[in-house]
Amino acid sequence: MGNCLDRNPVGAKNSSAVYGLAEEPSSELPTNQRTEPPLGLYLHVPFCSHSCDFCAFYQEAPRRADLERYLHAIELELRLFPPGRRVQTVFWGGGTPGLLPAGDVARLGAAMLRHTEGAPTEWTVEMAPATVKEDKLRVMRDLGVTRISLGVQSFDDRVLSELGRRHSAAQVMRAIDRIRHCGFENLNIDLMFAIPGQDPGAWDRDLRHAIACAPEHLSTYCLTFEEDTRLWARLRRGEVRPCSESEEYVLYEHAIDLLEDAGYRQYEISNYSHPGFACQHNVHTWEMGEWVGYGPAAASQFQGIRFANPESLDRWYQGVEIGRLERVDRVVLDDANLAVDAVIFGLRMNAGINLNRLRKRWPRAPWGELESLWTAWINEGLACHPSPDRLALTRRGRLVADAVAREALEVLD
């Protein structure tokens, strides 16, 4: 449906007390009290050993020559476009960052740390269960990686095969053992629902299995049929039946209830955590903080501009090699588009948004039109004011968050 569970757009935190909305923009503070706003760093590793049946993300086969070329180009890109200030959160996504051999992880990590001005407070690396090996985990731990995000999707081998995933439930359990044995105390498990062949009973078993693994964080994504994927082709041939929207809602709401009973607080439409374990990097981006992206297809939001690197290893490398970084999808940000995005992404979080702070941060945004919108949402039971200056979606509102977002975007037309 996309309402409940689309994948994180940039590669994501209830740490509003620490980041973004809870803070005054530095430009509003007296000069002697200004501090640099938090900065995130996203690094894209575009290699996958095979293509999963549902996946439309940009990816490349991990040929050794390309890996070498990639590592060299990342080192160059970091020198050409250094963050220029302390980096607080790091996210390595992909692709499959965990597929890099231990020596490559060490080289990439060392290159990045030369530019972060100290150790990040949170550093996530995405790993696929089949790639979790002790040597690379030890390298990551020694570099300062704090969080592993494991792409489990399901604990049911039959469901995994429907998705074209190349791991088994047994490999997932071995991967979790290794991650814990290496001392990582912050583990995310990605799960997927509304998969063909996964009935409510199978989804319930996946959730209970995940809870029994005791991760600190869980992400649950609704399967979407993306064009040009093998699953899309099967759908077109009538070989699989997608869940209806009402079936998706049932599965989604079951996850909320079961995970909350198990002590996981939903803090965003697709994300749950134990207290203190929300993903700081993602929350920072949802609160319209600044981040810099490296690697092909990586997006950045920095110094008033949003842009991305080309989705091609060759194009990205050629630009880096001649010292002219190619930027695509470039948007100059103003109060209006930043405020609308802060409303859209902020309302996906259960804590919602602090209206006074947003108004102070972007005073020239179309607040009158936005206010009319949320008055209507409140009247329809989709939103509420948990406190006088805060706006949040209700549980019913979160089910239709995409429709809410579309209405907010129309304010920019």
| 52 touches ligand SF4 (CB under 6 A) | yes
Secondary structure element (H or E) that encloses residue 408, with its range: helix 401-410
Which of the ranges 14-22, 55-63, 292-300, 388-396 carries the binding residues for ligand SF4, by CB under 6 A? 55-63
Which of the ranges 1-9, 52-60, 200-208, 332-340 carries the binding residues for ligand SF4, by CB under 6 A? 52-60
Among 4, 43, 55, 87, binds ligand SF4 (CB under 6 A): 55
| 48 touches ligand SF4 (CB under 6 A) | yes
Residue 54 Cβ vs ligand SF4, minimum distance, rounded to whole Å = 7
Q: Which of 125, 94, 61 is nearest to 298 (CA)?
A: 94
From CA 227, how far away is CA 250, in angstroms rounded? 25
CB 390 within 8 A of CB 355: yes
Among 11, 38, 95, 97, binds ligand SF4 (CB under 6 A): 95
Torsion angles phi and psi, residue 121, rounded to 5: -75, -25
- Counting every residue written for the chain, the total comes to 413
Which of the ranges 46-54, 197-205, 251-259, 342-350 carries the binding residues for ligand SF4, by CB under 6 A? 46-54
CB 126 within 8 A of CB 92: yes
CB 42 within 8 A of CB 289: no
Among 105, 108, 128, 297, binds ligand SF4 (CB under 6 A): 128
Look at residue 165 and give its three-state secondary structure. Answer: coil
Question: For ligand SF4, how many residues bind (rule: CB under 6 A)?
Answer: 11
Residue 173 CB contacts under 8 Å (≥ 6 apart), including other chains: 213
| 8 touches ligand SF4 (CB under 6 A) | no
Residue 37 Cβ vs ligand SF4, minimum distance, rounded to whole Å = 30
Q: Which of 10, 24, 11, 40 is nearest to 284 (CA)?
A: 40
| 394 touches ligand SF4 (CB under 6 A) | no
Q: Which is nearer to ligand SF4, 189 or 383 (CB)?
A: 189
| 96 touches ligand SF4 (CB under 6 A) | yes
CB 140 within 8 A of CB 107: no
From CA 131, how far away is CA 125, in angstroms rounded? 12
| 176 touches ligand SF4 (CB under 6 A) | no
Which of the ranges 48-56, 72-80, 167-175, 384-392 carries the binding residues for ligand SF4, by CB under 6 A? 48-56
Which of the ranges 91-99, 222-230, 264-272, 305-313 carries the binding residues for ligand SF4, by CB under 6 A? 91-99
| 232 touches ligand SF4 (CB under 6 A) | no
Residue 55 Cβ vs ligand SF4, minimum distance, rounded to whole Å = 3
Residue 2 Cβ vs ligand SF4, minimum distance, rounded to whole Å = 17
CB 163 within 8 A of CB 51: no
Q: Which is nearer to ligand SF4, 94 or 296 (CB)?
A: 94
Q: Where are the beta strands (DSSP E) in 175-287?
A: 187-193, 217-222, 265-268, 271-273
| 58 touches ligand SF4 (CB under 6 A) | no
CB 188 within 8 A of CB 148: yes
Structure tokens at 183: 């001392």
- Binding stretches for ligand SF4 (CB under 6 A): 48, 51-52, 55, 57, 59, 94-96, 128, 151
